[in-house]
């Protein structure tokens, strides 16, 4: 079947301020560039990021709370109440809806970013499961599961209508992909440059795979001489793929062919402010990454930050 998937980009929209959180924002002065390091609440334990205009959204892997941050002023606001389960990969659509991967809860939920209300919830799986990341296309949302060799597909109806609670599909991966042990396998997900397939990264092996979204058949993306150990969040801009390598504190920059079957490593981005960044999103002409600080024992007072770097 010849179908085209087009990534949905978050549009710039105005959202009302909800419950304020006492976070010391980085200060931006009129005429100056937005800050390159922004504070999140102490103890927050961020993982995912999604952006829309000047705002970024972050999920807590500790409590499931959602934090919205103004990237110009650094001021943070809580828009989604704590769920007691993780909020990991995030994507926001042009309708102001935030799609949230639920980690060990095996679920996903969709929030209204204006009110923080949960619009829909989906129970994909039960333990062992780790619903890790999500990508939005024109007609569906696709989620990875780091504990299972599958993708979950939420079809979007006319006008972006959300499906019923049982309206999702589980897509087993076949072909080149092989699950390895019990560690983090499937992680970040995006589309190919031509929009006809998906790309996922397997953290344990550092391999990128191209996946047919209808059949689940996978093939390894040929990037000669390179693997992407600790591969986490993925971001595709045109034909440039950014691969966050969390514990290596770097972003690999890969130029792909249109089909996403092969690519060339063209750069590596590092920054002294990186402290195990996990995912990446673009806003205000820069790349923003939350520091998950996996190597730092988390406490209620552990500080967490977001770092902005120049795209290459």
Can you give the pLDDT at residue 242? 98
Length of the chain: 312
Would you state the pLDDT for residue 182? 87
Which two structure tokens, joined as six digits, stand for 33? 């560039």
Q: Which residues contact 243 (CB under 8 A, 6 or more apart)?
A: 188, 201, 208, 228, 231, 232, 234, 251, 252, 253, 254
Identify whether the C-beta of residue 64 lies closer than 8 Å to the C-beta of residue 58. Answer: no
Name the percent of the chain in helix, strand, coil, to the closest 5: 0, 45, 55
Residue with tokens 């939350």: 290
Among 92, 170, 95, smallest CA distance to 136 is for: 92
Q: Calculate the alpha carbon distances from 217 to 80, 193, 220, 278 in Å.
A: 36, 18, 10, 27
- Give the model's pLDDT for residue 31: 53
Q: Which residues of the chain register pLDDT less than 50?
A: 1-25, 27-30
Burial classification of residue 300, based on how many CB atoms lie within 10 Å of its CB (0-12 exposed, 13-18 middle, 19 or more buried): exposed
Q: Side-chain half-sphere of 169: how many Cα atoms within 13 Å? A: 13
For the segment 172-200, what is each residue's pLDDT rounded down to a tens digit? 999 999 999 988 999 999 999 999 999 99
pLDDT tens for 202-222 read 999 999 999 999 999 999 999
The whole-number pLDDT of residue 63 equals 97
- Let me know: does 68 contact 51? Beta carbons within 8 Å: no
Contact at 8 Å (CB) between 127 and 88? no
- What pLDDT was estimated at residue 46? 98
Of 231, 221, 223, nearest to 251 (Cα)? 231
Contacts of 136 (CB under 8 A, 6+ apart): 7, 8, 91, 93, 99
Relative to beta strand 286-290, strand 281-283 is: antiparallel
* Tens digit of each residue's pLDDT (9 = 90 or more) over 243-277: 999 999 999 999 999 999 999 999 999 999 999 99
Give the pTM. Answer: 0.90
């Amino acid at each position: 079947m010849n179908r085209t998937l087009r990534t949905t980009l978050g549009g710039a929209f105005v959202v009302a301020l909800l419950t304020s959180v006492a976070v010391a924002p980085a200060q931006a002065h009129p005429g100056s560039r937005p800050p390159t390091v922004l504070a999140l609440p102490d103890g927050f334990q961020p993982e995912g990021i999604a952006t829309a205009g000047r705002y970024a959204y972050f999920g807590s892997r500790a409590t499931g709370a959602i934090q919205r941050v103004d990237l110009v002023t650094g001021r943070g606001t809580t828009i989604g109440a704590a769920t007691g389960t993780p909020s990991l990969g995030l994507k926001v659509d042009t309708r102001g809806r935030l799609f949230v991967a639920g980690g060990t809860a095996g679920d996903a939920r969709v929030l209204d970013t204006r009110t923080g209300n949960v619009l829909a919830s989906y129970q994909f799986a039960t333990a062992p499961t780790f619903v890790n990341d999500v990508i939005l296309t024109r007609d569906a949302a696709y989620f990875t599961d780091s504990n299972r060799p599958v993708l979950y597909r939420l079809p979007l109806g006319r006008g972006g209508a959300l499906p019923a609670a049982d309206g999702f599909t589980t897509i087993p991966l076949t072909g080149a992909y092989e699950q390895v042990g019990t560690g983090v396998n499937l992680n970040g997900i995006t589309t190919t440059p031509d929009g006809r397939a998906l790309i996922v990264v397997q953290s344990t092996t550092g391999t990128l795979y191209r996946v047919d979204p209808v059949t689940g058949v996978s093939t390894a993306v040929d990037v000669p001489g390179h693997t992407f150990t600790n591969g986490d969040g993925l971001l595709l801009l045109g034909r440039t793929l950014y691969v966050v390598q969390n514990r290596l504190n770097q972003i690999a920059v890969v130029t792909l062919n249109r089909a996403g079957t092969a690519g060339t490593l063209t750069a590596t981005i590092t920054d002294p402010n990186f402290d195990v960044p996990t995912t990446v999103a673009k806003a205000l002409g820069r790349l923003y990454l939350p520091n998950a600080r996996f190597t730092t024992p988390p406490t209620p007072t552990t500080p967490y930050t977001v770092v902005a770097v120049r795209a290459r």
